[in-house]
């Protein structure tokens, strides 16, 4: 059985069309116009192809044969009896290199994820239309509603008090668009959840349980922190990152290009990064000062959520706003 190939003699750049003949003893005979050459088993070496590159066979005298027609070569290999052992042993020899390549690929992916994504998301952020952000924000809220967010059960007095505190903040923040701040009842398996979150691009939702647990000033400090997330448009960065991750994972691993809903789901789990938390904390501190409130209120509020409520109550809040020891320390010394 023969396969067509290209022969490079290893001394000049000249190439020659040849045919390879595989014998049952795994030896290869090169059939060239200038005379054939016999390579006994053990004198040549297979370079396994990477991606779509041609299969290369290195000969004993430094010569090289490229087999661009892979199917012909495989066919020829299949026709000889012990070919599998040869290919398997070649594969085994290539294992360290293959592992190295795999490690390198993982490293490149990690670097892209850690450094490429933040840079890409900050670059793309200014070009995302407000309307698109609103659409995504509404999609996420719909998902939250399916996950147990209902109408607020706070008393009219509590609601009025909360709205006054919120509007003091939004007036001081002076955004070019209106920020929509609402309270909602949030239950998970019958348990009230203490949480507050910012939604793209102008919504903040605070759970009834959080309002009930904290003083109005402390609640205001939490809302100030959420306004910080809106101010820096952290949500859009998350949106871009999750979209890029979805696109990348579809490109790399294939799968269902599951669209806005998949991205929205990814965003539900999106943790703000440490730098985002710091930015939002610093923003909140400045905003509280602006309305003549003590900036320490934020630290006190977070402490209260952590300290005198059961684990399941504050778990939700800190899973989306990670409270690292560094952040805790900074807030305490604020
Ligand atoms: Zn946060």
Q: Would you list the domain boundaries of the chain?
A: 2-81, 128-333
224 CA to middle of ligand 1, Å?
10
280 CA to middle of ligand 1, Å?
6
Q: For residues 40 and 60, give the distance between their C-alpha atoms in angstroms, rounded to a whole number.
A: 9
Mean per-residue pLDDT for 213-230?
Answer: 95
330 CA to middle of ligand 1, Å?
14
Instruction: Please state whether the predicted TM-score (pTM) of the whole model is above 0.75.
Output: no
266 CA to middle of ligand 1, Å?
17
Q: For residues 19 and 36, give the distance between their C-alpha atoms in angstroms, rounded to a whole number.
A: 9
229 CA to middle of ligand 1, Å?
7
**185's tokens:** 């009842």
225 CA to middle of ligand 1, Å?
6
Residue % of the chain over a pLDDT of 90: 28
Cα separations in angstroms, 182 against 89, 135, 230: 66, 18, 15
Cα separations in angstroms, 226 against 45, 57, 155, 158, 249: 63, 62, 23, 20, 30
Supply the pLDDT for residue 158: 96
Q: Which helix (H) or strand (E) holds 225?
A: helix 216-231
Mean per-residue pLDDT for 77-95?
Answer: 62
Supply the pLDDT for residue 12: 80
263 CA to middle of ligand 1, Å?
20
In the structure, what pLDDT confidence band is assigned to residue 52 with cuts at 50, 70 and 90? Answer: low
Mean per-residue pLDDT for 127-145?
Answer: 89
What value does the mean pLDDT of the chain take?
A: 81
3-state secondary structure at position 62: coil
3-state secondary structure at position 203: strand
How many CB atoms are located within 10 Å of the residue 117 CB? Answer: 18
150 CA to middle of ligand 1, Å?
22
3-state secondary structure at position 52: coil
Burial class (CB in 10 A: 0-12, 13-18, 19+), 321: buried
- The gap from C-alpha 290 to its chain's centroid, in whole angstroms, comes to 36
Annotation: CATH topology of 2-81: PH-domain like (2.30.29)
**Poorest-confidence range of 72-76, 85-89, 110-114, 140-144?**
85-89
Supply the pLDDT for residue 88: 55
Per DSSP (E only), the strands in 60-189 are: 64-67, 149-151, 180-188
Supply the pLDDT for residue 122: 84
The most confident of 39-48, 192-201, 325-334, by mean pLDDT: 192-201
320 CA to middle of ligand 1, Å?
7
Mean per-residue pLDDT for 32-60?
Answer: 79
In the structure, what pLDDT confidence band is assigned to residue 294 with cuts at 50, 70 and 90? Answer: very high
271 CA to middle of ligand 1, Å?
9
Residue % of the chain over a pLDDT of 70: 79
Q: For residues 47 and 62, give the distance between their C-alpha atoms in angstroms, rounded to a whole number.
A: 13
């Amino acid at each position: 059985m023969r396969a067509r190939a290209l022969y490079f003699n290893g001394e000049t750049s000249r190439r020659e069309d040849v045919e390879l003949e595989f014998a049952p003893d795994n030896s290869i005979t090169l059939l060239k116009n200038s005379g054939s050459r016999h390579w006994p088993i053990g004198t040549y070496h297979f370079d396994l192809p990477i991606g779509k590159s041609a299969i290369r066979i290195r000969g004993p005298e430094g010569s090289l044969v490229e087999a661009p027609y892979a199917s012909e070569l495989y066919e020829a290999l299949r026709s000889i009896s012990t070919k599998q052992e040869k290919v398997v042993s070649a594969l085994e020899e290539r294992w360290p290199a293959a592992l190295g390549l795999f490690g390198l690929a993982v490293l490149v992916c990690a670097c892209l994820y850690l450094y490429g994504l933040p840079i890409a998301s900050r670059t793309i952020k200014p070009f995302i239309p407000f309307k698109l952000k609103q659409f995504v924000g509404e999609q996420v809220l719909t998902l939250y509603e399916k996950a147990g967010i209902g109408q607020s059960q706070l008393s009219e007095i509590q609601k009025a008090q909360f709205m006054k505190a919120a509007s003091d903040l939004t007036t001081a923040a002076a955004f070019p668009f209106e920020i929509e701040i609402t309270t909602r009842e949030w239950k998970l398996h019958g348990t009230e959840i203490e949480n507050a979150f910012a939604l793209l691009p102008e919504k903040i939702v605070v759970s009834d349980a959080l309002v009930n647990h904290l003083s109005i000033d402390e609640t205001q400090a939490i809302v100030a922190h959420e306004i910080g997330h809106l101010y820096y448009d952290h949500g859009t960065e998350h949106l871009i990152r999750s979209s890029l991750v979805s696109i990348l994972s579809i490109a790399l691993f294939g799968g269902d290009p599951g669209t806005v809903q998949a991205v929205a789901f990814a965003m539900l789990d999106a943790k703000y990064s440490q730098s985002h938390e710091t930015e939002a904390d610093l923003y909140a501190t400045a905003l509280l000062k602006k309305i003549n409130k003590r900036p320490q209120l934020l630290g006190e509020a977070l402490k209260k959520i952590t300290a005198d409520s059961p684990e399941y109550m504050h778990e939700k809040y800190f899973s989306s706003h990670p409270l690292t020891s560094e952040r805790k320390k900074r807030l305490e010394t604020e």
